[in-house]
Structure formats: C-alpha cells, structure tokens
C-alpha cells in the first residue's frame, strides 16, 4: 500500500459510520481538524478535498464487505444443513458440492490457455495441470454457491449491510441553464465545444431532457481543453457573448454542428442567429467573459474534472459520453430517493 492509498484509507475510516465519532462529535463536519497560523480547516473541507477518491475507497470497502458477508452466509447455511441432516459438514460438501461440481474438460483447459497465452509464456503442456486445478477450484466454488442458494431460498436471510451513500460534490449552478430551477434533478456539464465526445453526448442529452421534461434541469459550465483544442477558449467566450443577447443555446448548437470551429467563424455564427453583430464583436474582442470561463475552469479543476464531457447529476460525478440508459439509471435513483423521503 503506497502512502497516498494509506492516507485515503485513513480518511475513509474517519468518515465511516463504523469509526469512533468522538473526534467530530462536538460539531460534526464543522469541527476543526487543523489550523494554519490561526486559520482553521474544517472536517467538511477535508471531506470535500478527499472527494471522489474517498468515495471510491468507500465503495471498494463496501464491495469487500459484501463479498465476505455472502461467504459467511453461505457457510452458515451449509453448516445448518449439515446439522439438519445429522452428518458432518465435510460429508455434506463432498456429496452436494465436490461430487456435483462441473467437470473440467481438455477443451476448457485449451480455451483458457489460448486466452492467457501471452501472460503464461510457457507451452500448454507445462501449465495444463495448473490450469486444471484452477478450473476445478472455480467450478467447485460455483457449485458451492449454487447449493447455498437453494438452501437460502428455504431459509430466512436478512441482510442489513447498507451501501455507502453516493459521493456528491458541491457544484456551482451559475452557468446558462435549461429547465425549471425547482427541478428535482440537476445535471451540470463541464464541456468543451471542440471536443468530439461532447458533441456525441448532445443527442443523448436531448433524449434525456425530452424524457424527463420538468424533472431535470441542465446547467452548462465551461471547460475548454486548451492543450488539445487551442481555439476552444475563444469559442466559449463567444457563447457567453451570444448569451448576452439571449441566444446561448442556439449558438452552442452551431458550435457543435460546425466543430471544430475556427476563430474567424465565431462572428459568422452570430450573424446566422440574427444577433447584433457589432455588439457581439465588441464583446468578443474585449475579452469580457474571459474571467467567467476561467472561473468555470478553476471550479472544474477543484472538482477533479480532467476530461470532457464531465457531468454531475445532483452532485454525483458522471464522466464521459455515456448512453441514455446510464443517465436514466442515475436520474431514476435520484427521483426514487426523493419520492421516498
């Protein structure tokens, strides 16, 4: 375990419900965890700084607990069944598991060898015995779980292990938006108008907004990736200038339709939308919205955004141009959670 992982694991334990809470009991997340020349650092700041890394560790810890709990449940069911039959546990396993596990064939061994040939770097004849042993162990474990499931269907098993709450970042909502401010679900997108994956995501977003209508609000945030798309920054300023004349979304559509747009095209798009060309050009040349774009980029950096598109759905990180089904899955989770409050 490297030092970074050890530190994150320590932080994860601090915020785990199983960790002793006395350190934070006096005022919860507002408690002071450090001071620098009299300036305090709160537990909430620490948690936000840990961000998605902390959430990933908590999820990994939950998956490990879940796996081990399933093994414990299976063991308990097998032990109870052995007692019910008045036979030793090893005899039950021998008759119901080992004897009924799927046999390993030479064809299976050959298929596994072919899939892993580059890693094994040895002739099949030398590793066939080891592969057979591994496959036997896998088949025995599968049969053990199958048999335990038949016992579980007749038993009363209740699991109280709850998954960790999804990580939620605190994301600003001060960009151009579509949808009702009171919508129960807010999608924030950090996007680059010259990013092909952002362009690909637009059709999906349109499907999502049509499907959920008044239940979803969509907020734009600027995140031009200048090293990859040097002309993108000015395009984001241009979209802000178009927003000044009430045409942000229409201008954004033209940017994606014509991506990658050259700087000299930016005033042309404004003319196509019937904007005041002089006002638009003055706005663009003045750099009026350079600071606004920089503010968005700074917040994206703070939130750990490293590529585009990057979405936050009610604060939950949602990276990449994912399919509509994945958007729906997370949105439905959020709506269902709100409905049961």
Mean pLDDT of 125-141: 94
Domain shared by 195 and 124, yes or no: no
Sign for the CA dihedral angle at 302, 306, 309, 312 comes to negative
Q: What is the pLDDT of residues 294-325, one digit of tens each?
A: 999 999 998 889 999 999 999 999 999 999 99
pLDDT reported for residue 2: 46
User: Is the pLDDT assigned to residue 28 strictly greater than 90?
Assistant: no
∠ CA 298-303-308, rounded to 5°: 80
Distance linking the first and last C-alpha atoms of the chain: 40
Indicate whether 105 belongs to any domain.
yes
Residue 179 is predicted with a pLDDT of: 92
* 201-222: average pLDDT: 95
Backbone angles phi, psi at 277, to 5 degrees: -65, -40
Check residue 162 and give its pLDDT.
87
* Statement to judge: residues 217 and 316 lie in one domain: yes
Number of domains present in the structure of the chain: 2
| Residue 193 to residue 171: CA distance in whole angstroms | 20
| CATH code where residue 288 lies | 3.40.30.10
With 0-12 CB in 10 A as exposed, 13-18 as middle and 19+ as buried, what is 201? buried
What is the domain extent for residue 100?
65-152
Task: Answer yes or no: do 282 and 221 share one domain.
Answer: yes
Query: What pTM, to 2 d.p., does this model score?
Result: 0.62
Mean pLDDT, all residues of the chain: 88
Work out the number of other CB atoms within 10 angstroms of the CB of residue 99. Answer: 9
Instruction: Report pLDDT digits (tens) over 240-269.
Output: 999 999 999 999 999 999 877 788 899 999
Q: Is residue 45 over pLDDT 90?
A: no
Query: Averaged over 154-170, what is the pLDDT?
Result: 89
As a dihedral over the C-alpha atoms of residue 8, residue 11, residue 12, residue 16, rounded to 10 degrees, the angle is 180
| 148 part of a folded domain | yes
The answer on 334 and 263 residing in a single domain is: yes
Q: Are residues 90 and 206 in the same domain?
A: no
Residue 325 near residue 318 (C-beta atoms within 8 A): no
Claim to verify: residue 192 and residue 306 sit in the same structural domain: yes
175: tokens are 């960009």
The answer to whether residue 282 sits within a structural domain is yes
Beta strands 185-191 and 216-222 are: parallel
Q: Which of 119, 152, 185 is the last residue of a domain?
A: 152
């Amino acid at each position: 375990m490297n030092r970074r992982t050890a530190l994150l694991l320590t932080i994860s334990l601090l915020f785990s419900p199983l960790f002793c809470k006395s350190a934070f009991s006096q005022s919860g997340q507002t408690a002071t965890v450090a001071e620098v020349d009299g300036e305090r650092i709160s537990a909430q700041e620490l948690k936000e700084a840990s961000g998605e890394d902390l959430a990933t560790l908590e999820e990994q810890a939950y998956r490990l607990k879940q796996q081990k709990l399933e093994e414990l449940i299976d063991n308990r069911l097998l032990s109870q069944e052995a007692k019910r039959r008045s036979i030793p546990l090893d005899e039950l396993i021998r008759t119901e598991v080992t004897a009924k596990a799927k046999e390993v064939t030479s064809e299976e061994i050959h298929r596994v060898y072919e899939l892993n040939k580059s890693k094994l770097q040895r002739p099949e004849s030398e590793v066939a015995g080891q592969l057979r042993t591994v496959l036997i162990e896998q088949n025995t474990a599968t049969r053990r779980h199958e048999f335990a499931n038949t016992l579980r269907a007749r038993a009363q098993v209740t699991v109280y292990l709850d998954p960790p709450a999804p990580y939620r970042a605190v994301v600003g909502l001060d960009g151009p938006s579509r949808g009702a401010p009171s919508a129960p679900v807010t999608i924030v997108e950090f996007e680059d108008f010259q990013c092909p994956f952002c362009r690909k995501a637009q059709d999906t977003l349109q499907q999502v907004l049509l499907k959920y209508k008044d239940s979803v609000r969509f907020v734009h945030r600027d995140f031009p990736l200048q090293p990859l798309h040097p002309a993108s920054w000015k395009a984001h300023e241009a979209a802000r200038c178009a927003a000044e004349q009430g045409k942000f979304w229409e201008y954004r559509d033209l940017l994606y339709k014509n991506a990658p747009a050259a700087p000299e095209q930016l005033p042309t798009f404004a003319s196509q939308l019937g904007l005041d060309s002089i006002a638009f050009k003055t706005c663009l040349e003045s750099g009026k919205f350079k600071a606004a774009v920089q503010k968005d980029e700074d917040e994206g950096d703070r939130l750990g955004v490293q590529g585009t598109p990057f979405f936050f759905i009610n604060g939950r990180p949602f990276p990449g141009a994912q399919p509509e089904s994945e958007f729906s899955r997370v949105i439905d989770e959020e709506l269902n959670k709100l409905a049961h409050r």
